[in-house]
């Protein structure tokens, strides 16, 4: 009885067990069927999705090329920059309820504060703790840190554990850096991501930017991707380097000279271009604009902006008149003594009262008489004002220069449709109004005269290089073999010399050891909110030097503030020109044949005098056990000289901006000192410095070359 009931119970249980077993097998079948369905029926869909989700074509950025000056200084280059983010939700960071984070918080905050020096350690601690509490996934810790700082950051506690543990994420970007900052900033231009590029960066963008590569990658864990094997990659091609014609040294001189005048006169805008006469190479192009806070910055390329030139156009008038052959520069013109006269169709006023009522053509030019110049223009072209336009065309004043820099504005000339209207415009144009041309164009015309009538195209780029190999070389381009007859060129040169000899340029150039030929210009400017009567002037000076063998042609154009006390070309622009020409003359022209070595006293072994770093000298003296009288000095440099039996030591202060005397220095010290001052050193011989190419006490500028000889 007992047994049977036990067996019955068991049987009762057994069918239930088998029922459940069958049910479970059924579920298994359903599971496998579903898997089969997903794989075989929907398979294509899922596999397709897999490819599209996990593979991606990524762009490989090409490195942008560098813009160099002619002497190999970097003007604009790409450097990496890092933005640092923190993922406070990183697994490693939150692991063990943030043990790692809390352990490293203090030391990390301290290190961050030490590195960036913008916040205190406790401030950083607060920031990090806040971020951790809020569990921010993408917290911006610090923007725009340099590669060097990034390298240091990576060694910090926590950070060095890597991205997954520390949550520190670095996003790298490539930014453009102009090591020389202000120098030719606008000419070099900007490579902006969200705005139009400008300057050389824009003009040569296609060369600089290179080609972006492409690569097919497959994502694996942790946001990391690997290239797909066998897929065709397109390697990025790095951008080429652009070697400009700019010279950092000349640019600095021009920029500084212009800046000084701008600051003194509080002028609005100013530009200065230095061109190599024979070739048309632009050696410097400075542009300064006044900012609301009164400082100046390269904010616009004024050199290429067309404005009413004023008296500098009188060269074109002179050339046109002389070309007609009916007038010579010694012909006499009556200008009267009121400063105002009616010339043909309109009233003409002189900016400066003429010194005498009757002057020669050359004197009219030299004294910049509007009346005189318009008079001769009217006399010559009254019957056919169109002809004057033809001359302007011949001098290429009706078209852009074609410089390899985008943004050159087209000249604006008046229409000469009806005869009377044309005549009026022609007379107005003859002294620089009713026509708008850019300073660069004016410069190009003057350069042609300096160059014996051959008009050169201004250009900014010497060559395109790839890893130091020249890919494309640019040379001088002749725009017009001869803009007018040689005799006329000579006559024009004489007139320009007269300007500095007894004309409007005389006050500035009277004591000049070399000859400058040029022309001043003072124009009323109506621009934007200012009208002709608001007392805004454009003061300019354009010319070349040395006049007997022209090397450089230069234009300076400054737009004054309203009612500026100084507004004449001879007062504002000519001094800037003079400062530039003085420096360039002493650097390039005067010494161009052979570098004259300035020699200080040569010391022999009896009357020795050695200069060196204080620590080095005392170490040597101590090692050699030579007793010496140490003078108390705070200077880093000391000189050891003979003083009785024992050598004496005196402190030597090294000036920061003028050439120091390198006499008696070892090579190491001399090079260290010079390069710290921004000089480039050329070395000859061995031993101690005996001669140096720049005399001590001379003003020096960055990038200048100094040759030293050691013996």
Partner 1 sequence: MAELAYIQEPFKHLQRKAKGDKYIWSSVLLLALASVLVVYSATGSLAYKMYKGNTEVYLFKQVSFIIVGLLAVYFLHLVNYKFYSRVALILYLISVPLLIYTLFFGAEINEGSRWIKLPVINMTFQTSDFAKVALFMYISRELSRKQHVIKDFKKGFLPVIIPIMITCALIMPANLSNALLTGATSLLLLFIGRVHGKHLMMVIGVALIPILLIVGIAALTYTGKTTDGVKETSKNKVAESLTSMGRFGTWVSRVQDFMYASNDDIPYQVEQANIAIANGSILYGLGPGKSRQRNFLPQAYNDEIFPIIIEEYGLIGGAFIIFIYMVFLFRCINIFRRCPYAFGAFLALGLSFSMIIQALANMAVGVNLTPVTGVTLPLVSMGGSSFLFTCAAIGIILSVARNVEQLEGKNVEPPAAQMKEEKKALQPA
* Choices 6-14, 122-130, 260-268, 614-622 (CB under 8 A): range interacting with partner 1: 6-14
* 53 CB-side CA count, 13 A: 7
Up-side HSE of residue 581: CA atoms within 13 Å toward CB?
29
User: According to the binding rule CB under 8 A, does residue 8 interact with partner 1?
Assistant: yes
Q: Counting contacts by CB under 8 A, is residue 18 touching partner 1?
A: yes
Site for partner 1 in 570-609 (CB under 8 A): none
42 binds partner 1 (CB under 8 A): yes
CB 362 within 8 A of CB 503: no
Residue 80: strand, helix, or coil: strand
CA angle 423, 425, 427 (to 5 degrees): 70
Q: Is 31 in the site for partner 1 (CB under 8 A)?
A: yes
Binding-site size for partner 1 (CB under 8 A) equals: 45
Q: Which residue from 22, 24, 58, 686 is in contact with partner 1, where contact means CB under 8 A?
A: 24
Dihedral over Cα of 621, 623, 626, 628: its sign: positive
With respect to partner 1, which residue has the nearer C-beta, 162 or 627? 162
In Å, how far are 118, 165, 205, 469, 584 from 188, measured between CA atoms? 32, 44, 11, 22, 22
Distance in angstroms between the alpha carbons of the first and the last residue of the chain: 129
Stretch that binds partner 1, among 9-17, 281-289, 421-429, 614-622 (CB under 8 A): 9-17
| Residue nearer to partner 1 on the CB measure, 12 or 347 | 12
Judged by CB under 8 A, the stretch of 8-16, 128-136, 204-212, 697-705 that binds partner 1 is 8-16
Interaction of residue 157 with partner 1, rule CB under 8 A: no
Task: Pick out residues in 74-93 that bind partner 1 (CB under 8 A).
Answer: 91-92
Q: How far is the CB of 48 from partner 1 (least distance, A)?
A: 9
The stretch near partner 1 (CB under 8 A) out of 43-51, 139-147, 540-548, 623-631 is 43-51
Half-sphere exposure of 85 (CA within 13 A, CB side): 13
Could you say which of 32, 231, 478, 686 contacts partner 1 (CB under 8 A)? Answer: 32
Smallest distance from the beta carbon of 163 to partner 1, in angstroms?
A: 10
Judged by CB under 8 A, does residue 2 bind partner 1? yes
3-state secondary structure labels for all residues of 78-101: EEEEEEEEECCCCHHHHHHHHHHH
From 15-23, 268-276, 331-339, 379-387, span contacting partner 1 (CB under 8 A):
15-23
- For residue 368, the SS3 value is coil
- Listed in sequence order, the DSSP H helices in 610-666 are 614-624
SS3 assignment for 535-563: CCEEEEEEEEECCCCCCEEEEEEEECCCC
Q: Of 313, 518, 487, 303, which Cα lies nearest the Cα of 397?
A: 313
Judged by beta carbon, residue 92 or residue 213, the one nearer partner 1 is: 92
**Pairwise CA distance, residues 260 & 657, whole Å:** 17
Contact 81, 175 (CB under 8 A): yes
Contact between 22 and partner 1 per CB under 8 A: no
Cα–Cα distance between 618 and 636 in angstroms, integer? 12
Least CB distance to partner 1 at residue 28 (A): 5
Told to check if 28 binds partner 1 by CB under 8 A, we report: yes
Q: How far is the CB of 147 from partner 1 (least distance, A)?
A: 24
Q: Which of 22, 34, 107, 231 binds partner 1 (CB under 8 A)?
A: 34
As given in the structure block, the two tokens for residue 403 are 């410089």
What is the H or E stretch that residue 525 is in?
A: none
Q: Which of residues 459-518 bind partner 1 (CB under 8 A)?
A: none
- Binding flag, residue 222, partner 1 (CB under 8 A): yes
DSSP single-letter state for residue 280: -
Separation of alpha carbons 329 and 333, rounded Å: 10
Nearest alpha-carbon partner for 200 in 451, 553, 474: 474
Question: Positive or negative CA dihedral for 557, 561, 567, 572?
Answer: negative
Task: Give phi and psi for 291, each to the nearest 5.
Answer: -100, 160
Query: CB 162 → partner 1: shortest distance, Å?
Result: 7
Which range touches partner 1 (CB under 8 A), out of 23-31, 80-88, 250-258, 292-300?
23-31
Q: Which of 221, 230, 468, 644 binds partner 1 (CB under 8 A)?
A: 221
CA distance 695 to 55: 67
36 binds partner 1 (CB under 8 A): yes
Residue 52 interacts with partner 1 (CB under 8 A)?
A: no
Rounded Cα distance, 665 and 669, in Å: 6
Contact code string over 163-202 relative to partner 1, x by CB under 8 A:
-x--------------------------------------
CB of 90 to partner 1, least distance (A): 10
| Residue 16 interacts with partner 1 (CB under 8 A): yes or no | yes
Residue 432 CB partners (closer than 8 Å, separation 6+): 308, 309, 310, 311, 312, 313, 314, 521, 523
Q: Nearer Cβ to partner 1, position 132 or 185?
A: 132
By C-beta, is 15 or 468 nearer to partner 1?
Answer: 15
Q: Between residues 160 and 684, which has the closer beta carbon with respect to partner 1?
A: 160
Which residue is listed with tokens 């400058």?
516
The least CB distance from residue 199 to partner 1, in Å, is: 44
CA gap 332, 294 in Å, rounded: 47
Q: Is 133 a binder of partner 1 (CB under 8 A)?
A: no
Binding test (CB under 8 A) with partner 1, winner from 12, 293, 604, 625: 12
CA–CA dist 100, 178 (Å, integer):
41
Question: How many other CB atoms are there within 10 angstroms of residue 217's CB atom?
Answer: 17
Q: Which stretch binds partner 1 (CB under 8 A): 7-15, 248-256, 512-520, 553-561?
A: 7-15
Q: Which stretch binds partner 1 (CB under 8 A): 25-33, 137-145, 321-329, 633-641?
A: 25-33
Exposure of 18 by Cβ count < 10 A (0-12 exposed, 13-18 middle, 19+ buried)?
Answer: exposed
Establish if 224 lies at the interface with partner 1 (CB under 8 A).
Answer: yes
Q: Can you tell me which of 17, 358, 471, 602 binds partner 1, judged by CB under 8 A?
A: 17
Q: Which segment (19-27, 179-187, 283-291, 483-491) binds partner 1 by CB under 8 A?
A: 19-27
586 contacts: CB under 8 Å, gap ≥ 6: none
- CB-based contact 224:48 (threshold 8 Å): no
Nearer to partner 1, 11 or 668 (CB): 11
What is the nearest approach in angstroms of partner 1 to the Cβ of residue 125? 26
| Residue of 220, 471, 478, 686 interacting with partner 1 (CB under 8 A) | 220
DSSP-H helix ranges across 564-680: 569-584, 614-624, 667-676
Judged by CB under 8 A, does residue 47 bind partner 1?
yes
Site for partner 1 (CB under 8 A): which residue of 22, 27, 478, 626?
Answer: 27
Binding site for partner 1 (CB under 8 A): 2, 5-6, 8-9, 12-14, 16-18, 20-21, 24-25, 27-28, 30-32, 34-36, 38-40, 42-47, 49-50, 53-54, 91-92, 162, 164, 219-222, 224
């Amino acid at each position: 009885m007992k047994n049977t009931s036990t067996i019955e119970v068991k049987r009762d249980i057994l069918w239930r067990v088998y029922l459940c077993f069958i049910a479970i097998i059924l579920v298994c079948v359903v599971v496998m069927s579903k898997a089969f369905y997903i794989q075989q029926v929907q398979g294509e869909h899922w596999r397709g999705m897999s490819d599209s989700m996990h593979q991606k074509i990524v762009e490989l950025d090409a490195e942008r090329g560098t813009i160099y000056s002619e002497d190999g200084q970097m003007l604009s280059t790409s450097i990496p920059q890092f933005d640092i983010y923190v993922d406070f939700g990183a697994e490693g960071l939150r692991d063990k309820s943030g043990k790692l984070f809390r352990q490293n918080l203090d030391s990390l905050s301290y290190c961050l504060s030490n590195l960036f020096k913008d916040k205190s350690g406790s401030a950083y601690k607060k920031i990090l703790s806040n971020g951790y509490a809020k569990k921010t996934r993408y917290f911006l810790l610090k923007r725009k840190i340099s590669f060097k700082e990034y390298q240091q950051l990576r060694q910090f506690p926590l950070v060095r554990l890597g991205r997954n543990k520390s949550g520190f994420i670095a996003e790298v970007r490539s930014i453009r850096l102009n090591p020389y900052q202000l120098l030719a900033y606008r000419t070099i231009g900007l490579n902006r991501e969200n705005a139009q590029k400008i300057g050389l960066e824009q003009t040569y963008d296609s060369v600089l930017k290179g080609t972006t590569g492409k690569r097919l990658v497959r994502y694996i864990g942790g946001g990391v991707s690997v290239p797909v094997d066998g897929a065709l990659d397109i390697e990025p091609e790095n951008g080429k380097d652009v070697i400009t014609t700019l010279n950092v040294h000349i640019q600095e001189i021009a920029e500084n000279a212009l800046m000084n005048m701008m600051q003194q006169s509080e002028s609005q805008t100013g530009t200065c271009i230095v061109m190599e006469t024979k070739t048309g190479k632009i050696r410097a192009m400075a542009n300064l604009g006044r900012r609301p806070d009164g400082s100046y910055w390269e904010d616009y390329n004024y050199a290429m902006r067309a404005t009413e030139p004023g008296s500098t156009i009188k060269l074109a008038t002179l050339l046109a008149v002389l070309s007609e052959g009916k007038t010579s520069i010694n012909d006499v013109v009556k200008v009267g003594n009121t400063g105002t006269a009616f010339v043909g169709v309109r009233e003409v006023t002189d900016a400066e009262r003429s010194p005498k009522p009757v002057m020669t053509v050359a004197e009219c030019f030299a004294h910049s008489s509007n009346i005189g110049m318009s008079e001769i223009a009217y006399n010559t072209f009254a019957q056919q004002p169109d002809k004057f336009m033809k001359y302007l065309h011949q001098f290429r004043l009706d078209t852009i220069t074609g410089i390899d820099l985008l943004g050159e504005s087209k000249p604006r000339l008046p229409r000469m449709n009806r005869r009377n209207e044309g005549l009026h415009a022609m007379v107005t144009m003859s002294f620089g109004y009713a026509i708008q041309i850019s300073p660069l164009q004016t410069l190009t015309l003057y350069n042609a005269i300096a160059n014996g009538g051959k008009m050169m195209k201004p250009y900014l780029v010497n060559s395109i290089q790839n890893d130091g190999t020249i890919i494309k070389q640019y040379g001088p381009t002749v725009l017009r073999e001869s803009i007018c007859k040689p005799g006329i060129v000579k006559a024009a040169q004489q007139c320009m010399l007269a300007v500095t000899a007894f004309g409007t340029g005389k006050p500035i150039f009277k004591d000049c050891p070399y000859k400058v030929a040029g022309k001043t210009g003072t124009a009323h400017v109506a621009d934007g909110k200012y009208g002709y009567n608001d007392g805004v002037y454009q003061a300019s000076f354009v010319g070349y030097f040395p006049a007997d063998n022209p090397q450089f042609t230069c234009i300076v154009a400054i737009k004054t503030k309203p009612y500026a006390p100084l507004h004449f070309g001879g007062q504002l622009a000519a001094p800037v020109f003079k400062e530039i020409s003085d420096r360039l003359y002493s650097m390039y022209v005067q010494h161009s044949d052979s570098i004259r070595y300035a020699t200080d006293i040569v010391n022999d072994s009896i009357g020795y005098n050695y200069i060196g770093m204080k620590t080095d000298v005392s170490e040597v003296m101590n090692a050699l056990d030579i007793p010496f009288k140490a003078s108390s000095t705070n200077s880093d440099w000391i000189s050891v000289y003979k003083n009785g039996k024992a050598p004496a030591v005196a402190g030597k202060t090294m000036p920061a901006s003028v050439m120091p005397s390198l006499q008696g220095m070892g090579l190491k010290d001399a090079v260290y000192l010079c390069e710290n001052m921004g000089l480039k050193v050329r070395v000859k011989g061995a031993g101690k410095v005996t001669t140096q190419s720049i005399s001590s006490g001379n003003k020096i500028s960055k990038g200048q070359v100094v040759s030293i000889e050691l013996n």
